[in-house]
Structure 1
Amino acid sequence: MNSKTYQTVLLGALFHDIGKFIQRGDFGGLNITGKHPEVSATFIKSWAQFLAPWADLPLLENLVARHHESSSFPETLRAQNAPPEMREFCLLVSRADNYSSAERDTETGSGNYKTKPLTTVFSRLKLRSETQAKPKYYQPEVFSPKNLFPGDEAKLNPAATGKLAQDLGKALQEVSKAKWPSFQVLYTHLIAVLEDHCWCLPASTQEEMPDVSLYDHLRTTAAIAAALYQYHAARNDFSEKNIINDTEQKFLLVTGDLSGIQRYIFDIASIGVGGVAKRLRARSFYLSAMLAGLAHKIVADLDLPQVNIITISGGNFYILLPNTKNAHDYIKKLRIAVNQEFLTSFGGELALNLAAVPFSGQEFRHYNLVQRQAREKLLLSKLNPLSDMLQDEAAWRENAFILEKMKTTNQGYCKSCGKLPATKKIDDSIICTLCDQDLRLGKELPEAKMVVFYSQKPEHPNSFSLPGGLWGLLASKIPPVSEKAIVAYLFGDGEQKGIPSIPVRKVYWSNFVPQKDGQPLDFDAIAGCSKGKKMLGVLKADVDNVGALFSLGLGDRGSISRVATLSRLLEAFFSGWVNRLLTDKFPNIYLVYSGGDDLLAVGPWNEAAELISQIRTDFVRFSGQNPDVTLSAGIAVVKPAYPIAHGVSAADESLDKAKSKTPKTIGDGKDQIAFLGETVKWDQLPKLLEEGRALAEWAEKGQVSARFVHHLLLYARMFDHYLQNQKIEGLRYIPLLHYDLHRNVKKAEDTLPIHKWAQSLADISGNSIRHLALIARYALLARRSSNAR
C-alpha cells in the first residue's frame, strides 16, 4: 500500500466538499466563484506548500475537483474524466461521497445555499405521529453543548455564517503554520477543527429537509474512502470496473460492547473501603476508557483514521473496516485476547462482545438497517460470553474453568469487592489490585483534564492498565511526543493551546462529582444536602424507543451520515449538556454515567426530581419538540447507607414503571416519570412538586399535622381503588377529607390556601387527586420534622 497515495485519498475525502463552506463567506481572500468542487480545489492549491510533505498535490487537487460522476456537473469536474493515472482514485472518492449521502439523489429541493440552515435530524424522525414534526434549525456557531438547541429561524444570518467561515480560516491557517510530528496527529486535528465549525451547516442545500451536517458528511466520506482504499489495496486491484462495483461486499461493520457492566460497577461489597461514591465514578470511567481504548486500538492497528469509528457512545461502538481477511482475523484475535485477559484478571466478570457484518456499497442507502443487523448479531453473541475461552470446536476446555490467579493467598480476598485476592493494605483493610486502582482513579478524576491512551506502558507512575495491552493516563496537560500514544481525549470545553504532540480529540465525558474543599463528597454528605429527610434519589433515565428511532424513525433516509449525525448529537446532549447542567445548577448531584441515550445519577432526593425535570425540559428543546422523541425516568428514594446496587435496581424498576401503561396513565406508557410510587406525565410533574412543597411548608408551620398528611395517603389509596375497580365506595374519601379538614385545620386567613387546595381534591378528574400519594409522600420527606407537629 502506497502510504502517500493513501494519505492523499484521506485528505481528498475529508476536504472534497470544503468548497461548500468557503463559498458562504470571506475565507482569507480565496476565489469563491464557480462550483463547489472548483472552490475546494482552489483551497487545496492555497495550501500546496503546507500539504506537499503529506500528499501528492496533483492527485489531491483532482480528488476534490473531480468527486462527482453525475452529468449535472461539467465534464471537466467528473471523476470518470480525470487523467488516467488518477482516475481510479477520483472514482474511489466519488463512490465514498455517494455512499455517504446514498439517498440524496431521491430528493430535490431549492434554496439559497448561503442562507439555508441545517435542519435538526430530530425533525425527520417519525414513529407514531401522523404528521411530520415542525422543522427546527441550527444557527452558525462553533460547536458547544450550549449550541445544541435548534430554533425557529429558517434562514441563516450571512454575517454570522461569514464570521464562522473566518474563524475556520483562522483555525486552518494556524494548522498550516505548524510543524506536525506525524500525519496521524495532523489528520486528527483537522477532524476536530472541522467538527467545531462544520457541525451546524448542511451538507446539501438542495434537499427539502437538509438535516445532515457538513461535518458528518465529510467524516463519513473519509471513513468510507479509507475502508475502500484498503479493500482494493489488499487485492492489489484498483481497476475502474471493480472500484465502481456497488454490489460487492467491500465493507465490514464491527460493533462491540461489554457484558457484566452493571455487576462490575455496583457490586462493591464494603462501603467503608475507599468510599462507594469515589469508587463508582472510577469504575464507570474505567469501563468507558476500556471501550474507547479498544475502539482506537482497532483503527490504529489496522492503519485507519479515527473517523472510521462511526459512533462510540452509550457503552458500544460501531467501526467501519474493509472486508478483508486481515480485518476478520484481527477482530477474532482481539476478542480472544481481551476475553482471556478478562477471564484471568477479572474472573470472567466482564466480557468483550464483538460482531461483524459485511455489506456492499449499495447497502449504504439503508445503512441504519445494516447497523441494526450488526446489533442483532451482537445480542446473539452476548448470550454466550467468553465462549471462545471455555470451548473449542470439539469440546469444553476443562482447564479454562480453573482460574489460578483467582486463588487466594494467606491474605484472603479483597475486603472491598470480596472477589479477587487481596494484595495491598489500605488503612486497616487489604484490597485487590483493581480496587486499589479504583481508589487512585477516583482521586485523580476530579482534577484531570484529559485521558491519554497508549499502546505500551508510558514512563509515568500514575498510568493504569487497560485490556488489549493498552495503558491509560489521566493528565492535566498534553504529554510530550510519544510513538506509544494513540490518542488523548480532552474533556469538555477544555482549550487545546498550541500544536498537540499527539492525536487529540475533544470529548464530553460525564465526569461531574460533587466536591467540598477540593474533596469528593460521599453519599452521606450528598444525602445531607436534601430538603427534610437525609435521603438519596437514585435517578435513571433513557430515550424511549431509541432502537426504533434509528431503524424505523428515519424512514428510507437512513444513510451513514444521517445516523452518524443523530448518534453524535445524542451523545453530545447526554455527555456534554447534562454534565454542564450539574456544573452550573446542580452541584450536589453525582453523575455515575451519562452518554449515548441514558444516564444514571445519585443526589439529594428532592434535587434528583428537579434535575430530571430540567433535563426533560431541555431534551424537548434539543429534539426539536418532536412528539415521537421522548424520555422516561425513574427515581428510587433510598437511605445513604443502602447498598448502591440495590438502589440502582430499584431505580431500574421505577424506570420500567415509567415505560408502562397504568390505570392513571393518559394515553400509552413512556414519556413519563415514576417517582415516590406514582407514574406521571412530564407536564404534570412541576405542579405536583409545587403542591408537595406547599404541603410540606404547611406542615412545618404547624398549619397541618403529620397525621393529616398520613390521612391523605389513605384517601389516595381509596381513590385508586375507585379508579381501578370503578366501585363507588372508593369515593368515600371526599366526605372523610371534608370532615378531616374542618376538624384539624382551622379556617383562618392564613389557612385559606390549605382549604382551597384540599377542596380541589374532590375533583376526580384532576391531577392532584390522581397523584395525591406523590404529593403526600413528598411532603412527609421534605418537612423538617422537628418543626412539624
Structure 2
Amino acid sequence: MLSHEKRRSLCLAGLFHDLGKFKQRAERSEDRGKTHGEIGYRWLQGHYGENLVALGAKNHHASDEHVWEVNDFLVLYEADNCSASERRTTYDNKKDVSAVWQRDVPLASVFSRVRNPHEDDPHALPPPAFWELPRRIGPRLGWQPPKAEEGQNPSDAYGALWQGFELEFQALKACGNHHNVDSVMHLLEKYTGTVPSMTLRVRGTDDKETYRKHPDVSLFDHLKTTAAFTLCLADFCWEKYGDEWSRRPLKEEIAGAATWGEDAESPFLLVGGDLSGVQRFLYTISAKGALKSLKGRSFFLELFLEHAVDTVLESLGLFRCNVIFTGGGHFYLVAANTRKTEEALREVKGRLNRYLFHDFNGALELFLCWVPFRKADLKDVTEPWQRLSGALEEAKKRKGENFLAELLGEPQDPHPDCYTDKCQVCGREDRALEILAIRETAITVCEPCRDQYYLGDLLQQAARKGHLPVIYRWDREPEAIPRNRYIRIEDRFYQPAAGYFGRKHEELNRAADAVFHLNDWDLSHFQHPGSRPLFAGVYLPPEDAPRDLESMAERGFGMGRIGVVRMDVDRLGRIFSLSLPPGERTFSLTASLSRQLSLFFKYHINGILEGAEGYPEKTLLAGRPAGPRLTTVVYSGGDDLFLIGHWLDTLEAALDIQKAFAAFTANPFITISAGMAVGSPHEPVYRLADAAGEAERLAKRERREGAKTIAGRQSFTLLGRHVFPWKDSKKPDVAKVLEALKHLEPFVDVDGRSLKTRPHGLSKGFYYKLLQLVRRQRQDGVWLLPKLAYLFGRTKVDGSLEEHWGALKHYIFSSKADGWRHVEAALLILLMMMREGGSKP
C-alpha cells in the first residue's frame, strides 16, 4: 500500500506539475528559451529538492524523458490527460481558420458557457465574459467580476502575480507548510484561479465558434483535478496490479488507448453525500436566544459536513484536491474504484449515522452513495451525475433503515430530567437537561442544543475580538479548556477562537490537531502544521452594533420588525446538465462551475453584506443614513442562503446580493429567486422561516396577472406577498419599485432612526389614502381615476417641492406606473420606514 508520504508527494506533484506555465508567462530573464516543464522543475527543485514533486514538472508529457519508465510519472501523465481530456481549445485544420499561442489570452468565464436554463430546450447563448488577472493582490481575495470586453493578461501583470505567489510561498515554507496540501491548494487558488490553463487562441469559422474554443478552465482547476486523478489512478492500479507496480512500468495498464474505450474498466468513483433533515433541524427552536442558536445550528452543519468530508478522505488516504464541492448540506468527491474504497465508505457512513442518530434522535441522517465512471466519461459527466443523483434519491426513500430496531422498539421512558420539563429549544425529552443562561433568562436545554448555542456565542465572540476567526480542531477532548469553549462532533472537538495574527502574545494553539482559518486568504497566517482554509457565510454586524434579533428590531431604521429572506439559484440542476452544451459537460468545467458558485455563496457573501472595499456600494433606500447591515447569514452555501435581521437591512441586503450575483455570473440566464417575510422578533423562528419559504416558492411558480400567465422564477417576493421579477421591461419589476420610491423620496427627511414628512409637503394621510387606492385597483382591477384626481387636486405642497410634486403627478398619471403594484410596494416600504420601534409585544 502506498505510504502517506508517497501519497502526499504524488498529490503535490499533481498540484505543481504545470506551475512552470505560470512563471513562464511572467517572462523572467532566467526562463528564456526554456519549456514550462523545465521552468517548473528548476523552481520546484530549489524548494523541494530532487524528488517526485520537482521531477513531476518535467515528466508529465508523452515526449518527456522518463515518463514511460516510472509508474509515478505514468499516473501523473495520465492524470494530466484525464484533467485536460475535454479541451476544446484544439485546432481543427478542416474547420478552424488559425491557431496561435498567445501568452496574454484571458480566461473565459465558466458561467458564460451556460445556455438559458429557463427554456425547455436550452439553446440561447449568453454574451461572452472574461476574467482578468487580479488588479491587487492582498490579504483578501478581491471582488473582481468578469468583464464583457476581452482584455489582455500582459507579462507585467503576470510578473506582479508571480511575485506575490513567491512571497506567500516563502511564508509557508518558513514554517514547513509548503508540504501541507491544504495550504498549498489555498495558495494556488489565490494566484492561479483566474489564470488560463492554456493560452492557445483558436480562430473558428465565426465569432461564436471562436469563443466556444476560448480557454475556460483555470490553471488552478486543472492542477487540482490532475492531483485528484493522480491519487485515484495510483490507488486503482496499486490494488489491481499489486507487486507489479514495483517491478515494471505499467504502460498499457495505466495509459494505454484501451483504457479510454467505451467498454474499459471504471477507475474512478463519484461519491456524493446528502445531509437530510437540515431545514427542520435549523428552524425547530424557540425564540429565546434565537439568533445565537440559529448561527450555532447553521455553523454546526458546516462543521459537520467538514468533519464528514475529513473522515471520508482520511479513511481513503486522500486530500482536499479530491473534493469537488461541499456546502448546502451536500458534498461530492472523486475516489478510486477499489474494494478498499467501498469498504471504507460503508464503514464511515455507518459510523457517522450512528453519531447523528444518537445525538439528534434521527432528525439528521447522512446519505452516502457512490457510482463508478470511466475515463471516457470525463468528456461528458452527465450520465455519472444522473446515476449518483438517482442513487441518493433512492437512498432517501429508505431513511432510518439501519435503525429500525430502535425506531420500532418499545417506547422509552423520558429521561428523569424530563419528567416535568423538556429541552426548551428543540423539545426533546430523552436527554439530560441543564440550565443555559440567555441574557436575563435561564432555560433548560439538552447537550446538543447547549453546544449549538455555545457555538453561535463563540463565533460572535471570535468575530468581535479578532478580525479573522479560527476554528481549532482537537482529536481528543481538550482538558485545559473550559467545556463551554468548545463543542463535540462525533469523536472530535471544535473551538472557535479569535485569530490575533502578528501579535507575539497570541499565537496559534500548537496543541490543537488542526486549525481552520475562516475566510482568510493571508497565507502568512497559515503557520500551524494543520492549517487549512474554511469558507463560510458568517457575517455579523460589527461589535458596537446590535447582534440579537430584539435589539436589531428596536435599533434599526424604521419599523421595529424582523425580516427573513430566503434565496436560491433557479434551476441549478439544469445549469449543470442540460444548459451546458453537449461536448462541454466535462468534469473540469463542472468542477470549476461548482467552485465559483461556492466562492460566491460561502466567501463573497460576507464582503457584500459588509460593504467591504471593492464590493458594490450598499443599497440605501429613500436616502436613509449609511451604517452596518443589521442582518446576519443563517446559512449560505451550495446555491442558496437564508438571512435574518432588521427588515430594512435584510431587504436592502437581498437587493445587493442579487445585483452582485448578476455581476459575478455576467450571464442573464443564471438567475436567483428570493422570498421575504416580516414579523416580530418574538415570533418563533420556524414561522418566519416557513413564511419566507412560502414567499420564495411564490416567486418561483407560475402566477396569473389578469388574463396572463406569468412564468415563475427570476423574481423577488417583497414583504411576503408582492411578487416582482428582478428585471422586466414590459411589466412591474423590482427596478420599478425602486423608481417609484425615488419619486416619493423628495417629500421625506431622515429624523433619527426613521423618516418624517417634510414641512409643507405630503402628509402621512396622503400616503395612506394613495395606498388604499392602489390596493383597490389591484384587487378590483378598475382604477378609481376620479378619486385619484380628487386626492391629488386637494393636496398642496410648498414651492420648493413643486418640481418634485409635478414629477410625481406625471409619474402616477402616466403609463410609467402601469400595473400599480410596484407603487403599492414602494408606499409600504416608505410607510414602514416612517415608523420607529414597535418591536415589543
TM-score, length-scaled by structure 1 = 0.87
Question: Partner of 1:650 in structure 2?
Answer: 691
Displacement, 1:499? 6.1
**Residues 483-513 of structure 1: per-residue CA shift (max 9 Å, x gap):** x72x432012363436623232223311122
1:543 alignment partner in structure 2: 569
1:233 has 2:238 as partner: yes
Counterpart AA for 1:119: A
CA distance in structure 2 between the aligned counterparts of 1:658 and 1:287, rounded to whole angstroms: 27
Corresponding residue of 1:470: 492
Contact 2:175–2:527, Cα closer than 8 Å, also in 1: no
8 Å contact 1:415–1:422 — kept in the other structure? no
Q: Could you say if the C-alpha distance between residues 785 and 754 of structure 1 is closer, same or farther in structure 2, counting changes exceeding 3 Å?
A: farther
* Further displaced range: 777-786 or 259-268: 777-786
Residue of structure 2 in register with 1:95 after alignment: 78
Which whole-Å CA distance do the structure 2 matches of 1:174 and 1:785 have between them? Answer: 52
1:324 equivalent to 2:338? Answer: yes
Kept in 2: contact 1:250–1:358 (CA 8 A): yes
3-state DSSP of counterpart to 2:363:
coil
**1:322 counterpart letter in structure 2:** A
Per the alignment, residue 12 of structure 2 pairs with: 11
Instruction: State the alpha-carbon separation in 1 of the partners of residues 424 and 710 from structure 2.
Output: 50
> Which of these residues, 669, 685, 697, is aligned with residue 628 of structure 1?
669
Q: What's the CA shift string for 1:614-659, capped at 9, x where partnerless?
A: 22222121112x1111122111121222211111111111112222
Shift of 1:138: 2.0
Amino acid at match of 1:338: L
Tell me which of 342, 346, 352 is aligned to 2:366: 352
The C-alpha deviation readout for 1:207-262, integer Å capped at 9, x for no partner, is: 63211110111011101111111122222154333223232111111111211111
User: How far apart are 1:706 and its partner, in Å?
Assistant: 4.3
Would the aligned equivalents of 2:311 and 2:348 in 1 still touch at CA under 8 Å? no
Equivalent residue for 1:681, pick from 714, 725, 728: 725
Give the secondary structure class of the aligned counterpart of 2:423. coil
Residue matched to 2:274: 257
Deviation at 1:404, TM superposition (A): 6.9
Q: 1:711 and 1:414 mapped to 2: Cα distance? A: 48
Letter in 2 for 1:11: L
Q: Report the Cα offset of residue 661 of structure 1.
A: 3.5
**1:203 Cα deviation (Å)?**
0.8
Map of 2:456 onto structure 1: 442
**Per-residue deviation, residues 48-104 of structure 1 (Å, max 9, x unmatched):** xx346xxxx2x55553323233xxxxx44584xx33xx1x33221122112112211
Distance in 2 between the 1:5 and 1:34 partners?
29
Residue 154 of structure 1, aligned match among 128, 142, 151: 151
Counterparts of residues 389-428 of structure 1 (less than 5 Å):
389-390=403-404, 402=411, 408-410=417-419, 412-420=421-429, 421-427=431-437, 428=442
Task: Say if 2:610 is the partner of 1:590.
Answer: no
> CA separation of 1:224/1:324 partners in 2, compared to 1, >3 Å: closer, same or farther?
same
Report the secondary structure of 1:209's partner residue.
coil
1:133 is displaced (CA, Å) by: 1.7
Is 1:614 the counterpart of 2:641 in the alignment? no
- Report if aligned partners of 2:105, 2:153 keep a CA contact under 8 Å in 1: yes
Q: What displacement does 1:686 show?
A: 4.4
CA contact (8 A) 1:369 1:551 kept: no
TM superposition shift of 1:781: 1.4
Q: Distance in 1 between matches of 2:414 and 2:475?
A: 24
Residue of 215, 229, 233 corresponding to 1:210: 215
Contact 1:251 1:321 in 2 (8 A): yes
- What is aligned with 2:625? none
Percent identity over paired residues: 26
Give the aligned residue type for 1:198: T
Q: Which residue of 1 aligns with 2:757?
A: 700
**Aligned-residue offset at 1:110:** 3.7
Could you tell me which amino acid in structure 2 is paired with residue 349 of structure 1? A
Which 5+ residue runs of structure 2 have no aligned equivalent?
92-97, 117-121, 202-212, 463-468, 500-506, 612-617, 619-627, 728-732, 749-755
Question: After superposition, where does 1:193-204 map in structure 2 within 5 Å?
Answer: 193-204=187-198
- Evaluate the alpha carbon distance shift between residue 76 and residue 423 of structure 1 in structure 2; reply closer, same or farther with a 3 A threshold: closer
Contact 1:256–1:316 (8 Å) recurs in 2: yes
Q: Is the 8 A contact 2:539 2:610 kept in 1?
A: yes
Task: Write out per-residue CA displacement over residues 342-401 of structure 1, whole angstroms, 9 at most, x where no aligned residue.
Answer: 2222111111111111111211112354234323322332233222221xxxxx666657
1:155, distance to aligned residue in structure 2 (A): 0.7
Q: Is the 8 A contact 1:537 1:638 kept in 2?
A: yes
Give the deviation of 1:295 after TM superposition. 0.3
- From 701, 709, 713, give the equivalent of 2:767: 709
Q: Which residue of 1 aligns with 2:109?
A: 120
**Alignment partner of 1:287 out of 277, 282, 301:** 301
Q: Distance in 1 between matches of 2:548 and 2:739?
A: 29
Shift of 1:523: 0.9
The reply on whether 1:600 has 2:642 as its aligned counterpart is yes
3-state DSSP of counterpart to 1:581 = helix
Instruction: Provide the C-alpha distance between the structure 1 equivalents of 2:106 and 2:100, rounded to a whole number of angstroms.
Output: 10
Q: Evaluate the alpha carbon distance shift between residue 731 and residue 416 of structure 1 in structure 2; reply closer, same or farther with a 3 A threshold.
A: closer
3-state secondary structure, aligned to 1:289: helix
Taking the aligned partners of 1:398 and 1:637, their CA distance within structure 2 comes to 38
For the 8 Å contact 1:314–1:596, the answer to whether it is kept is yes
Structure 2: distance between partners of 1:192 and 1:476: 21
Q: How does 1:65-84 map to 2 (within 5 A)?
A: 65-69=58-62, 75-76=63-64, 79=67, 82-83=68-69
Quote the Cα distance in structure 1 between the aligned partners of 2:498 and 2:798. Answer: 63
Query: Given that residues 578 and 615 in structure 1 are in contact (C-alpha distance below 8 angstroms), is that contact kept between their aligned partners in structure 2?
Result: yes
Q: Is the 8 A contact 2:515 2:528 kept in 1?
A: no
Change (3 A) 1:176 1:521: closer
Q: Do residues 566 (structure 1) and 593 (structure 2) align? A: yes
- Confirm or deny: 8 A CA contact 2:75 2:233 kept in the other structure: yes
Please state whether the residue corresponding to 1:146 is helix, strand or coil: coil
SS at match of 1:204: coil
Aligned AA (2:302): S
Alignment gaps of 5+ in structure 1: 70-74, 391-395, 723-729
Do 1:201 and 1:213's aligned partners in 2 also have CA atoms closer than 8 Å? yes
Relative to structure 1, the CA distance from residue 398 to residue 679 in structure 2 (aligned partners, 3 Å threshold; closer, same or farther) is closer
Letter of the 1:263 counterpart: R
Q: Which residue matches 2:36?
A: 36
Superposed CA deviations along residues 640-695 of structure 1, whole A, max 9, x for unmatched, are: 22211111111111112222343459973322211032222324434523534764
**Aligned with 1:341: secondary structure?**
helix
Deviations 1:268-326 (A, max 9, x none): 13x23xx1111111111111100111101211222111211121122211111111122
1:36 is matched by which residue type in structure 2?
Answer: H
- Normalising by structure 2, we get a TM-score of 0.82
2:79 and 2:376 mapped to 1: Cα distance?
11
Check the 8 A contact 1:592/1:602 in 2, yes or no.
yes
Q: Does 1:504 align with 2:531?
A: yes
Query: In the comparison of the two structures, how many residue pairs are matched?
Result: 746
- The reply to whether residue 773 of structure 1 matches residue 824 of structure 2 is yes
- In structure 2, the residue matched to 1:393 is none
Is the Cα contact below 8 Å between 1:227 and 1:321 reproduced in 2?
Answer: yes
Are the aligned partners of 1:734 and 1:762 in contact in 2 as well (CA < 8 Å)? no
Farther off after superposition, 365-374 or 615-624? 365-374
Q: Deviations over 1:423-469 (max 9, x none)?
A: 21234432211222123222210243111334433445256454442
Contact persistence 2:536–2:637 (CA under 8 A): yes
SS in 2 for 1:431: strand
